[in-house]
Amino acid sequence: MAGERVKLVVQNRSILGSSESRRLRRQGLIPGVLYGREQPIAISVAERDLRQALTGAGGTHAVLDVVVDGGVAHSSVLKEYQQDRVRGYITHIDLQEVRLDQPISASVSVTLVGEPAGVKEGGVLTQVTNTVNVEALPLEIPDHLEFDVSELQIGDSARLSQLHVPEGVTLLDDPEETVIASVAMPRVEEEPEVEEEAVEGEEAAAEGEEAPAEGEEAAAEGEAASGDGEDAGSTEG
């Protein structure tokens, strides 16, 4: 949803450094920087207030009216944020002051809706592109874009040119080269030929083991015949 504005009260951060940032986090505050048209301002904001601001109707694309130490509001957007790799909570934010009458670029997520006709026939849906780059006025940046995949048959691919965007929003990615989603037949995994060759090798080895047995039997017969000859000679003597 575009057009969301949220007031966000922050404090000026006079002490910098990793140890100070850790101390702030223990107090439930998130360190950050507000990049304005003049000098960047080091700030801290309550984690609860930040979470409420970024989970509203505008999501992470909401325009934030940032108030530093009770001063004037700075119309800003979330530029970047860092998260804890294990727990997932935000550990640092960068805010960018913007002018509401000038377009900005942003990365917007794409959500697939509907069930493809090809999936009902046994196909598999794959989302190729999860986010697209757009340009619009700060208050017109959508939280996300939806694409209906209901008409996709097996073998079909949907491209960015088929994605509907609100008026005032411009897609920055190549509309013909960017594939959003596709439906294909499921891949059937074939058994490796190596296993079959191994079985054939084992059978050949087994046959090879039987051959010496015949030779041994012939040798045994020869020894028996030789023994009979010796017995016959001793009898004649």
Architecture of the domain spanning 105-184:
Beta Complex (2.170)
Q: What is the mean pLDDT of the segment spanning 92-98? A: 96
Residue boundaries of the structural domains of the chain: 5-98, 105-184
pLDDT band at 31 (very low <50, low <70, confident <90, very high): very high
Q: What is the mean pLDDT of the segment spanning 102-127? A: 96
> Would you state the pLDDT for residue 168?
94
3-state secondary structure the chain: CCCCEEEEEEEECCCCCHHHHHHHHHCCEEEEEEECCCCCEEEEEEHHHHHHHHCCCCHHHCEEEEEECCCCEEEEEEEEEEECCCCCCEEEEEEEECCCCCCEEEEEEEEEECCCHHHHCCCEEEECCCEEEEEECHHHCCCEEEEECCCCCCCCEEEHHHCCCCCCCEECCCCCCCEEEEEECCCCCCCCHHHHHHHHHHHHHHHHHHHHHHHHHHHHHHHHHHHHHHHHHHHHC
> Would you state the pLDDT for residue 195?
56
Query: Which CATH code fits 5-98?
Result: 2.40.240.10
> Would you state the pLDDT for residue 232?
42
State the chain's mean pLDDT as an integer: 84
Please report, rounded to a whole number, the percentage of residues in the chain having pLDDT higher than 90.
Answer: 63
Q: Is the pLDDT of residue 207 over 60?
A: no
pLDDT band at 186 (very low <50, low <70, confident <90, very high): confident
Higher pLDDT, 187 or 39: 39
> Would you state the pLDDT for residue 147?
97
Q: Is the pLDDT of residue 236 over 50?
A: no
Q: Is the pLDDT of residue 220 over 70?
A: no
Full-model pTM: 0.71
